[in-house]
Amino acid sequence: MNLFDPIVKATEIGQLVIKDNERKYYRIPRPGRWYGGIATADCCGCNLKCVFCWSNKPRDNPEKIGTFYSPEQVFKKIIDCARDHNYRLLRISGNEPTIAKKHLLKVLSLNDKTKYLFILETNGTLLNEEFVMDLCKFRNFHIRVSLKGTNPEEFSMLTGAIPQAFDTILGNLELLIECKIRFNLAVMLSFSPEKNVVMLKQRLKKISESILEDFEEEYIFLYPHVVNRLKKTGIKPLIAYTSGRR
């Protein structure tokens, strides 16, 4: 398999899903029970290719699906949805929100004037210094970084990306800590032997013990298309949920 650099991939995917300051979405808004109730806008396009990804066409063929929305349109749809359902949380999910940085920052700026908390779900690959400095300007948000695997080799096997990107993500976590940005780390552990989890926790402890205080374990859901993806790669999970919804 040809491994790719997720930063280069983000630029390529961005050309398909960003037009001026608009971004492509395939489902908006989506009310849901996650986090106790949250209004979601599901975007198209990701810079990783996880073997367990639940997103199908919006990830693999973002040029063939979805509609472009401005930040103002996206924000209005999710905040109206939150008001209708009495939620306190908003998010962009479905694929990777940080691919369209300017678009995302505008949504965050619109939300900063409200009482709603924005949950920024990300794979963490694009949280570089410049972007983190921009994020520092906002207050009403929390970042949930979802790390795919426990070490560079697992990460690369699961995502198709170069193993070095794993260390980049851990470096990005240090930036978030330095800038005092609220975040928690979720780690995909379905494919990880216990000894790898222990070693990851030792690494994280050296960055900051606070990461371990809010360490979230993630396990895959065996949706039919996820089972098909896994079959094609021959990669087998050690632990998985057989039902459930994201």
Interface region with ligand SF4, contact rule CB under 6 A, candidates 43-51, 63-71, 100-108, 128-136 = 43-51
Site string for ligand SF4, 7-36 (x = CB under 6 A): ------------------------------
Establish if 39 lies at the interface with ligand SF4 (CB under 6 A).
Answer: no
For 209-218, letters b (16+ CB in 10 Å) and e give eebeeeeeee
183-242: contacts with ligand SF4 (CB under 6 A): none
Q: What's the closest the beta carbon of residue 180 comes to ligand SF4, in angstroms? A: 25
Establish if 53 lies at the interface with ligand SF4 (CB under 6 A).
Answer: yes
84-103: contacts with ligand SF4 (CB under 6 A): 95-96
Q: What's the closest the beta carbon of residue 44 comes to ligand SF4, in angstroms? A: 10
Binding stretches for ligand SF4 (CB under 6 A): 46, 48-50, 53, 55, 59, 95-96, 123
